[in-house]
Amino acid sequence: MPIIEQALGSKESQEEALKIVLSLSNDTESLKLFAESKNIIRKVIELSGEESVSNLALQVMINLSQNEDISKVMVKNGGISTLFDFLKTHLKPDEKDEKSDVGYISKENVYEVKHATTSSIPLVLMALTNLTTYPFGREKLLNASDNPDLKMILVENLVAMTGFFKDQDLFNFGANVIANSTIDAEKNGLTLASYKPLLEMISSIKKSPTKRMKVTEAVKNLMFTYNDNLQEIKDLDVVVSIGTALIETNVHECAKAIDEDIKLHPKWIEAYENRENNEPEIGPHKDDLNHCLMDCLVLLGNEEDMLNIMNDYGIQNLFEILNFQKYVSKEPIASQEAAYQSFMGDTQINEKVTVVLNQIISILQETPKTEEILADQEPNLDSAADKPLEESKE
């Protein structure tokens, strides 16, 4: 190791030294040795900003960061800020689109390089993905400054960059880093303030299936904070964004036509009418997208205000348009679960839809706080197939 360390310090030999480290960086035992060589790790971080060897040094950073102990050293020695500095100085608005060829290794969401790209941007984002897989990496990313107004500056910059390059494979791993940053969102006290553009991106990303999936995962993670961010969730009309994304995800499963007088949020009607023109590329992620989006609604359904909003927007009609579930029973029933039938063939989606609808039914069946309303008043279920659940009136 001392020889490699010395070689990394010399401009004449640092490229060859980096190649040696790279060749050893996919070996578990070698990674353990590098974890004990903090000077080598620090030098690799430094060289990632050197124009002549940055691409090679970034590959080394990615592979070394498969090891948690090495990642700790990288984060402690400014690895995350160095990578963001690289983005600031090298990312151009007209950056050529390139997709990095990567391979998964045993630890989920951690990557190693198989073949590098000409552009170093995907490599920077891969390294950030690996580092933010660990809690200490996320903590550093989420606390970029001691100034409270600037502590989320790195996340906000990354969200903006990902939005700008939303349909380029070049920036796929930007969405991975964003998704990582929202892990344990409730525990970390995250708000939607730094992530607002994601609510638009879950629908506006059209040509990058992986990025669309990761952004949707991030939104789901943020919905775990509904207790603390309820007003912001209302103000941003999150339910509308989720419903629009569901329509775009299920273009070919949607009903062929809808009634002109259907009770449905105007933006959902617009998304339905334009669905074929706005169909996104979702690759193999359709089922995962549906589950992620439905999980958002299930989480929000823990708040009565959100259930009332869903009902007002016509969520039941949306589910029928999507062919997720349909009310099929006209007879009195003991359990609402029996009243709905899935036309999608996914029992788990069926269960999630049923949870949301039953939560709505539950709040509508509660006795209003006025003496003149009957205590056993029930919603008008006979009309449930044609319109969203509403309180029955005397």
For 117-158, give the DSSP string: -SSSHHHHHHHHHHHTTSHHHHHHHHT--SSTTTTTHHHHHH
Q: What are phi and psi of 325, to 5 degrees?
A: -160, 155
Report the distance separating Cα 173 and Cα 214, nearest Å: 9
Q: What is the pLDDT of residues 199-256, one digit of tens each?
A: 999 999 999 999 999 999 999 999 999 999 999 999 999 999 999 999 999 999 999 9
Say if residue 324's pLDDT is above 90.
Answer: no
Interatomic CA distance for residues 98 and 121, integer angstroms: 9
Instruction: With cut-offs at 50, 70 and 90, classify the pLDDT of residue 107.
Output: low
What is the residue extent of each domain of the chain?
A: 1-181, 194-394
Token pair for residue 268?
């959902």
Element (H, E) at 353: helix 347-365
Per-residue pLDDT tens for 13-72?
Answer: 999 999 999 999 888 888 888 999 999 999 999 999 998 999 999 999 999 999 999 999
pLDDT at position 391: 38
| 380/383 Cα distance (integer angstroms) | 6
Residue type, 46: E
State the amino acid at position 154 in one-letter form. L
pLDDT digits (tens, 9 = 90+) for 250-302: 999 999 999 989 999 999 999 999 999 999 999 999 999 999 999 999 999 99
179 neighbors 195 (Cβ within 8 angstroms): no
Q: What is the DSSP track for 69-98?
A: HHHHHHHHTTHHHHHHHHHHHH--TTPPP-
What are the backbone angles phi and psi of residue 260, rounded to the nearest 5°?
A: -65, -35
CATH of domain 1-181: 1.25.10.10
Entry pTM:
0.84
